[in-house]
Structures are given as C-alpha cells and as structure tokens.
Amino acid sequence: MHIDGANKSGSVEYFLYRKENGSWKPVSPDINGRLAPYQYEIEKLFGSIEFLRSAFVSQKQPKNLPDLSEATKGEKKALFRELGGLDYLQVYSDEAKEKEKSLDRELIGDRSTIESLKKDVTVMPEKRKELQQLDNEKAETEKRLKEIEKKGFKLKEQLEEFSQMVEKNRKLQTNIDNVSKEITDRMEEQNNLKKKTVEYQQAIQNKSDFEKRLQDLEDLKKQEAKLNEEKSKVLEQRERLIAQYQHDKDAVGDIEKKINTKTAEIQSKLASFQSERTYAKKRAEQLEEDLREPITENCPTCGQKWPAQRKAEFEQKRNEKETILNEFKQEIFEFDKKIISFKNQLKQIQVDIDALQWPQTPELPSFDETLLENIQQQLNLIDESFLRSELEKAKEAEVRIEESEKQIEILNKQIENRNEIKAELMHQIDEEADEAYREVSSEMEKTRSKYIEIDKELTRIATEINAMLKQMQDLAAKKADLNDLKETVQEKEKDLQEWQYLHKACGPDGIQALELDAMGPGIADVANSILESAYGSRFQIEFRTTRIGGSGAQKKQIEDFLIIIHDSQDGSEQLLETLSGGESIWVKRAIYDAFGIIRARKTGTKFLTVFQDEMDGALDPEARMNYFRMLERAHQESGRYHTIVITHNIDAQEMIEQKIEMRKYPK
C-alpha cells in the first residue's frame, strides 16, 4: 500500500504482486492502484475480512462488519462456517441452486411447448379428412378439364374450315377495295380537270384586267424609286451636318478635359501645402506658448535659485526652441507664398474655362415621308406574282381547255370499266362465311376461358393438397418432437429433484449445520484450553446450536446459535453479548484463535503470522497479563512463526521480548 505522506488526506494506492520466473508481476491486469480490484484479489487468496479476523485483530471493528458479540444468529453461523472452513459447502449449495433455477426455467418452457404441441397434433384426423376431400375434388376437376379440352379441339377444326372461306372473302374484298380506290382516284382526277377548265375560262375573261393592274404596278414602282432618291439626298445632308457638329464639340471637350486635369493637380498640391502649413502653425503656437514665460533667477518648478549648470541647460533648451520657432515661421511664410500662387493659377484656369466657345446645334433639312409611305402601302396590297401567274394562264387557257376535255372523256371510259370489275368481284363473296366464323370464334374464346378457369382451379387444388401434405409432415414431426420432449422433461425433472436435494443438503440447514454441531465441541475445547492458560479452569465456553421451543404437543427442537460463558467461581453463565468490553476481548480472542487452529487441522489453511492491533487498550493491568498469556498459548498451539502485537501500552511492551519501537524524533 503506497501512502501519500505529504498529503493531508493520506491517499493510498493498493498493489498486489506475485513472483513468476524470478520477477515480480501484478497478480491480475486489473490491479491499478484502486482498492476494489485489490480487495477482490485478497478475498480470492485468503477469504473474507471475517475469515481474516483469525489472523488480524484490531481494536476497532471494520466498517459494515458486525462484531461477534453484536452479530445476529445468522451472522454468527455464517462467520463460524467461514472460520471453520465450511464455505466450500455453501459454494456447492449455491451452484446446486443455480442449476435448480436453470432447470426450473427450462422445464417451464418445455411444459409450455408440450401443451402447444399437444394442441397442434389434435387436428391431424381433421386434416386427413380435408386431404381426402381435396383428392376427390381434384379428380372431378381433371374430368371436367378433359371434357372442355375435347370440345376445344372440335371447335378448332370448325374454325380452321371457316377461316379458309373467310381468307378467300378477305382477298376478294382487298381486290374490291383496290378497284374502288382506282375509281375514286379517276373521279377525283376528272373533277380536278373540270375545276381547272373553269379556272382557264375565268382567266380568259380577266386577261385585260390583269394587264391594266400590272401597268398600274409599274407606275407605282417608278414613283417609289423617285421618292427614295430624294430621301437619300436629304439623309446624306443631315449626316454631314451632324458629323461636323460632333467634331467641333469634341475639340472643345478635349480642351476642357485638359484644363480640368490641370485644375485637379493644382488643387491636390494646394491641399497638401495647406495641411503642412496647419501643422507648422500648431507647432509654432506651442513653441510661442513655451517661450512666453521669461527667464528668472529661481526655478519655476521648485522655486529654488538656479544652479549654474541647470540654468545653462535651461537657457540652451530655450534657445533651441527659439531657433525651431523661427524655422517654423519661415516655413509658414513660404507655404503662404505657394498657396497664393496656386489660388491665382486656379482663378486663371476658371477664366480659360469661361472663355471656351461651344459650337451651335445645326439646323437639319427635313423630308416628308407621307407620300412615300402611301405608295409603299399600295405596293404591299398588290400580289405581283399572282397577277403574272393569272396572265400566263389566260395566255395558254384556250390550249389547256381543249386538252382537259379530251382527258375527261378518257377517264369516263376507265371508270365504267372498273365498275364492271367491282360488280363481278362482289358477286363472288360468301356473306354467310364471315358470320359463321365469328360465331365459332366466339364459342372458341368462351371454351378457352373456361379451360383456363378450370386449369386455375386444378392448380389451386394441387397447391392446397401440397400445403396439406406439408402440414401433415409438420404435424408428424411435431408429434415425434412431443414424444422426445416428454422423455426430456422426465429426465430434467429427475435431475431437478437431485439438484434440489443437493441444494438443501449443502445449505446452512444441512451438512453445514451438522458440521457446526460436530465442530462446536472441538472449537470449545481449544478455546477453553487457551483460556485456561490465563484463568485456569474458571471460565468455560459452550456453543449451543439448538434450543427447545413451544410447549405441550407443540414442543420441538429449534435451530439456534448461542455462545455461553460459564464462570465456575460464582456458578453463573451468560451470553457473549452481555459481557463488558474488557471481558469480551479475551473471550473473542480465544474463539478466533481456536477457529484458526481447528481450520488448520481440517482444511490445511494456516496463517503463520497474525497481528494484534491495540486489542489490549480496554484491559486493566491484571487482565492485560492474562491476555498475553493467552496469546503465548495460542501461538504455541497453532504453530505460528510470528505473532505481532501493536500497542501503545508501556507495560504490554515490557512483556514482549522482541520489539520494534516507533518514536517521533525532533527535527
């Protein structure tokens, strides 16, 4: 334990090592200075703090652990079981209890599963009946499917026969449609020729009108050309005047720009000199203020007569200031001359700007575009290409009319021929074949739909049969699982009874209680032997693990744990917890030592070094001598190497031959 001696709190770090291959290593990776992992490893090595009390006894009871004289019956039993080395039985009992709980949880789940499986397998007879019904339904559906299939094949043969007749009708109809189209095309061509003939006749009638309108168009074009020429001359003159005006204006603008640039330069210099003059003026005023006070025989600060050297220094500084003042005044004079010069230049520049002559805006000639726009509107309303096209038609109209009439006659003969062919083809068409084909096709489609419907029904039945077979397989597997699980539960129940028995047998009320009963006399004999070394046969310790309770028919033996102290001197007996503080010390010491000795005999666990930390503090001198006799007897009986006594009492120190004295030496 590393204790911080420089800190008021005395903080402690805890470490535990073991030697491996010649070097010391931490007993666990968790050992890091904290108390919890250190305490855990200590208890793994030696047992609980109560267990260690047989090797280390202190005056003050450890925190949260009851003193033997204050412990309850259960706490005393637990302490004696541990001190007596019986805690391994409790480990067996706890392990058996965990096994018991685990098996109990498993059995709850297994029994629940058994009930669920029982409920599932009860439906197996009903499922077999449903499967038989599905098999019958499948056979009936397959029969219906074959019948509808047979009907379909018959309808297919009829449909193929009628389809040949319909195909012949289709080809005839195609030829009829082609002939009808030829008739329509020739009639349309004939109508177009008649329409053109009418147009040609109309063109002959309008020929003179078109010629006049074309002459009027030429006259308007000549007037437009003349007016456009006049307009061009006016626009050229306007452009020439505007160009001259802009040239003169730009020339004056360039002069003004140069004057403005010069003005900006002079104003910048003027502002700079004015700023410097202002600074020089302020410095000069400061120096004049400093020099305004005359030189006296005494110092103006302290009022004492000037020392010669100090006065000379003061006069020298004053002369330096006067020199600087004169320099600033000269600078101000020069600045004023330059500022006046720049201002005069600015006045002259303003005179030059005022003298600039800007050109007068020219008067531009005008052109009245109303007449030109009127002529252009008239031209836009005349379609020249249409007039020339109509005039050309009129010129060739007489020739075209004669050709059109001949072509119309030829088309009349072709139309009559195509009508005769069309009538012959229509006579060959079988009108009843199409209707019969439609009826057989409709019936065929209904039969096909019915076939698909029955086939889907058959698929559904087959799917349900497969699902039912799968359910039957699952139910058979569940039945097998149910039988296996019943056997497993029987085995687990048998194991549970055995673990329950072991839990109770190794528990505090089983073998542990028997061991305590058997161990009690041995512990009492050793403790009484240690007491005898100090008090003779006066005091005797007795452990009572049972007592008689109830009365009459209800009288019975009850588990208990009492520590009785017999005093042969006055024939009294009393419980350990009723002893005074001084009396209980030697009794508890004898009991703890007795446990250490008995445990060493029974388990082989033995402490070769024990510690007594100020346990003699509450004893009077006579009791202290008896206490140390008990320590010597216990030391011999247990075969220890060392019994280390920690005490402040001088008398106790004199009783011990080998000593380590701790004293505080002066600094």
Residue 24: enclosing H or E segment and its boundaries? strand 23-26
Cα–Cα separations (whole angstroms), residue 406 to 70, 185, 418, 556, 623: 149, 18, 19, 151, 167
How far, CA to CA in Å, does 42 sit from each of 49, 79, 254, 458, 612? 9, 18, 108, 79, 19
Q: What is the pLDDT of residue 313?
A: 79
- What average pLDDT is seen over the chain? 79
Prediction pTM value: 0.39
Q: pLDDT by residue (tens digit) across 532-566? A: 887 787 778 887 877 777 777 777 777 777 888 88
Closest of 262, 385, 273, 387 to residue 338, by C-alpha:
273
Q: How far apart are CA 535 and CA 161, in angstroms?
A: 138
Instruction: Say how many residues make up the chain.
Output: 667
Enumerate residues 6+ apart whose C-beta is below 8 A from 223.
375
- The 10s digit of each residue's pLDDT in 221-252 is 788 788 788 878 878 888 888 888 788 888 87
169 Cβ neighbours under 8 A, 6+ residues apart = 429, 430, 433, 434
Query: How far is the C-alpha of 193 from the C-alpha of 402, rounded, in Å?
Result: 11
Q: Kindly give, in sequence order, each residue whose CB lies less than 8 Å from that of residue 41, ignoring residues fewer than 6 positions away.
A: 16, 27, 28, 30, 31
* Strand partners for 328: none
> In the prediction, which pLDDT does 534 show?
76
Split at pLDDT 50, 70, 90, the class of 206 is low
DSSP reduced 3-state for 475: helix
Confidence grade of residue 51 (pLDDT, cut at 50, 70, 90): low
E-assigned strands of 47-123? Answer: 56-58
Q: Quick one: tokens of 408?
A: 């119309």
Q: Token match 């004079």: residue?
A: 333
**How far apart are the C-alpha atoms of 607 and 638, rounded to whole Å?**
9
- Residue 570: what are its φ and ψ, rounded to 5°? -115, 5
Q: Given this model, what pLDDT does residue 57 score?
A: 60
- Let me know: does 210 contact 385? Beta carbons within 8 Å: no
**N- to C-terminal Cα separation, the chain:** 26
Burial 136-161 (b: 16+ CB within 10 A, else e): ebbeebeeebeebeeeeeebeebbee
Q: Work out the pLDDT band at 288, boundaries 50, 70, 90.
A: confident
CA distance 360 to 352: 19
| Minimum mean pLDDT range among 199-203, 291-295, 502-506 | 199-203
Q: What are phi and psi of 550, to 5 degrees?
A: 80, 180
pLDDT interval class at 63 (50, 70, 90): low
3-state secondary structure 553-586: HHCEEEEEEEEEEEECCCCEEEEHHHCCHHHHHH
Residue whose C-alpha is closest to residue 479's, from 119, 126, 130: 119
> Which tokens is 457 given?
């029904």
SS3 542: strand
Residue 58's pLDDT is 61
Assess whether pLDDT exceeds 70 at residue 190. Answer: yes
pLDDT at 17: 94
**pLDDT at residue 25, as a whole number:** 92
Q: What percent of the chain is modeled with pLDDT above 70?
A: 90
pLDDT per position as a tens digit, 106-157:
888 877 877 877 777 777 777 778 778 878 878 888 788 788 788 778 877 7
pLDDT at residue 15 in the model: 94
Average pLDDT estimate for 366-388: 77
pLDDT for the residue numbered 14: 94
Q: pLDDT by residue (tens digit) across 624-652?
A: 888 888 888 888 888 888 888 888 888 88
- Quick one: average pLDDT of 173-200? 78
**Taking residues 577-582, what's their average pLDDT?**
76
pLDDT given at position 12: 92
Average pLDDT over residues 428-442: 73
CA dist., res. 524 & res. 541, Å (int): 6
